[in-house]
Amino acid sequence: MTFSITARCPATGMLGVAVSTKLLCVGALCPFARAGVGAISTQSFVNPYLGIQGLALLAAGMDAAATCERLAAGDEGRALRQFAVVDRNGRAAAYSGADCVGWYGHRTGEGYAVAGNMLVGEPTIVEMARAFEATRDGVFAERLVGALAEGQAAGGDKRGRQSAALLVVDREDYPLIDLRVDDHPEPVAELRRLWGLYREGLAPIMGMLPSKEFPAGRFDLAEIRQHLPSDA
């Protein structure tokens, strides 16, 4: 019921997931990521605990392949599950249960995994992988959104379109990017529009927020006041 890309940026160490489906609010259930730990997309009769438990295993030092095996072994509904795991070092693994519906499958590459089920066909994940690999020098979030867009253009979910999400973590305990399109006739296109707005308007603000390195944040209060409306 979903197609996704889960990945790590080799240049920055960022981790993230881009995902879309014909189901409401995919961003609330499928993408999971923790800075310095890993990223997981859980889908196909989704089990959110696979994301929660998978991040705990990765944080404990387990690699992507071992985490994938442990998650599958511990889930009695494994035949209907699909999930992808990328660890802090960019190692990728994925699992697609034998009873997933419609066309389903996954691919892994250097630093990423693409997966989908109930799809129009295999070209969805093929094009996602191609697009991600073809943009190695690009901005990580743009690469994720671009790959998702290519997957949609190649067919996507055979039932239609409804929601999409982009989750990216960098170094902080809060997400760097958390964009969600919960209900839209063209969710991937709308996600790309929101990413453009984020890049132009919110990205500079994110750089000012309190961080582990700068607990009070980084900003020039005098400069900010120059842009505030006058009380007069």
- Over residues 124-163, the pLDDT tens digits come to 999 999 999 999 999 999 999 999 999 999 999 989 999 9
- Tokens describing residue 128: 């996602």
127 bridge partner residues:
none
In the chain, count H helices and then E strands.
7, 10
| Structure confidence at residue 219 (pLDDT) | 78
CA-CA distance, 197 to 179, in Å (whole number)?
11
Q: Give pLDDT, residue 36.
A: 98
The answer to whether position 231 is within a domain reads no
Q: What is the pLDDT of residue 68?
A: 98
Tell whether 190 is covered by a domain.
Answer: yes
Q: What percent of the chain has pLDDT over 90?
A: 91
CATH code, domain with 138: 3.60.20.10
pLDDT of residue 133: 97
Residue 221 has pLDDT above 90, yes or no: no
Q: Is the pLDDT assigned to residue 232 strictly greater than 80? A: no
Whether 232 is covered by a domain: the verdict is no
Coil, strand or helix at 158: coil
Q: Residues 59-109: pLDDT tens digits?
A: 999 999 999 999 999 999 999 999 999 999 999 999 999 999 989 999 999
21 pLDDT higher than 50? yes
Nearest to 141 by CA among 166, 121, 120: 166
Read off the pLDDT of residues 179-206 as tens digits, 9 standing for 90 and up: 999 999 999 999 999 999 999 999 999 9
- 223 pLDDT above the threshold of 80: no
Q: pTM here?
A: 0.94
Looking at this protein, which amino acid is placed at residue 58? L
Residue 52: partners with Cβ closer than 8 Å, 6 or more residues away: 32
- Domain range for residue 131? 2-226
Strand partners, 166: 18, 179
Task: Report pLDDT for 218.
Answer: 87
User: Domain total for the chain?
Assistant: 1
Give domain status of residue 91, yes or no: yes
Residue 38, CB-side half-sphere exposure with 13 Å CA sphere: 31
| 50 inside domain | yes
